[in-house]
Structure 1
Amino acid sequence: MIQTLRLALLLACLGAAPATSALAQQKLKYPKASPTDIYDAVEKPAEPLGGVEAYGRYLGDKLTYPTAALQAGVQGTAEVTFVVEKTGYTSGWQVTKSLSPECDAEALRLIKAGPRWKPAQHRGGVVRQRVTVPITFQIPAGAGATAQAAGAPAQPQATPATSAAAPNGGFETITPDEPARPVNGTDAFFEWVQQNLKYPAQARQRKVEGRVTMEFTVEKDGTLSNIKPVKRLGSGCDEEAIRLIKTAPKWEPAKYKGQPIRQRMVLPIVFQL
């Protein structure tokens, strides 16, 4: 009887072992995330398809400065918070740091119309993540001026370079250590502009004088892209200013920590009879 009892206890213990092991393994598993959960911090944050740099380019290229904000001199940063869904689409957009009604609306438009994202990953699965992106509105230097003094060409003005990833999964603005500049210096660049500028016949006939404020991006290889006027003069002057920048010599690209980066520039093209 004693031997039978011992054998029964031994079999009972052996039979219980797998169940205990299974229970322990079950405790080690992460709890399954609810489909409705939204994470602020994750192991692998969401990122735009194409990469952070391409997304920064999109923001810079597609931003349209609201006329009312420009006329009122409004500049600064609006922050938009949204959810990157498991599908990579965004939802739940809201302005969490307001700048002005016009700028807030433009910031929302940019984010809503933006590219899809690569969704976040956390604890071995794809999850929804809350992301905040700052949209900076900066008035180009001198954009509000009406004329340029004779013999005193304005200097090119740099604006912050492409956005980069921030630790919280958002973005931050990079200021280059070395701003972009013309290869042979600013004086040589404006001398080239003066030599190659063709005064439009219509502007000459109408005696139109002033300046066109141009904005463009100096790429990593020194070429100029995204060329557009931000303050127009009309009578053919805007088209001539665009032509000049498109045919201009290469620039020395901006640098950040020793590496070339893209940078947006603003400079005036002066028309004076």
Structure 2
Amino acid sequence: MISIIKKLFLLIIFFTSGITAQNGTVKTYHMSGKVESRIAFVDDILEGTSYWYYENGNIRTEKNYSNGKLNGLTKNFYPTGLLKDEIRYSDGMLHGVSRRFYENGALAEVKNYEFGELKSVKNIEFDKDYIAPLSAYEEGKRKKNVENDDFICSAQICPEPIGGIEEIESNIIYPKLARQYKLEGSVLITTTINKRGISENIKVLQGLGLGCSEAAIEAVKNTKFIPGENNGEIVETEVTFKLNFRIKEAEDKPTIIASEKSELTSESKIDSSKQKDFIICDVDECPEPIGGITELIKKINYPPHAKRNNISGEVILNVKVDDIGFVISTEVKQGLGYGCDEAAKSAVIKTEFMPAKQNGKNVESNIEITVPFILDDKK
């Protein structure tokens, strides 16, 4: 019975979380577990290049979007990797020359459109003797690093950080607040690597908060790349990749020799106190977010109105957590306004907790929880 109730709550949470804006790449999967599609969003709007794949890993469809509308080339491929058709769009309308191909790779049809209006059609008779060159199979057979979700690009040969992705991560300066709150996770970055191997137009598709997005951008700026290639030529290439933020154990728990212990600063004591008082309760064991405070902080959707007005601080909530671990009520004890109070409540509601314990048994509990709002670019 508890299992059924828990599943029901999870469904409610899932649909609630769908209200927040989607940023980054959404993936779907074939029944076999292989990637079926990678669809790119910015603020719930289709943006950039999205891909659909056959189960063999070859590209089935490639579409380019701008502000939710098809823009540029849309390509469909046969399972073999050969091009099936390429269709040109401008602001969501068919515009320019579109081509269709037979399964053997030979040209079958050419159409010309002007802003949605068909101007001409030319059909080409099937040539059974046509043999497509090996190079014709390459584009559809590009697997876009399906087996490696950390690096995606639009070139035949992706740019590579000199020293690998680990080189970028080694350039990350971990933000003090993120370390203080033990925030870990990934930042999704998109950038253009020019022909000299320098990153330009760096953007965060999915941030982590508490200064991590800014730290990721700086790390990419300080990394040199081997540029991408198409048909043996060096080209400017757009790439998307994840940067992982992990607090090393040595950093998290520094060794303090005896002579230093008496010299601990008041600042370090305050930091320790903040960790301890993040959740306050009146039972033997307080409820804890599954995955720790990191999981809750990841769910904070910083209100744009608060960002514009440089609002940061803490929202303190009174929260009731049931004996299964689900939040059943929230009330603001100390707010910030500008949408932060509602964002804090939303983040807590979406978080699943380990239930409180009293005398060794799971119990319903009332807790006070502090939700931090710290602007990434706050100096």
TM (norm. structure 1) is: 0.40
TM (norm. structure 2) is: 0.29
Tell which structure's C-alpha radius of gyration is larger: 1
* Structure with the higher fraction of residues in helix conformation: 1
The higher relative CO (CA closer than 8 Å, separation ≥ 6) is in 1
* Structure with the higher fraction of residues in strand conformation: 2
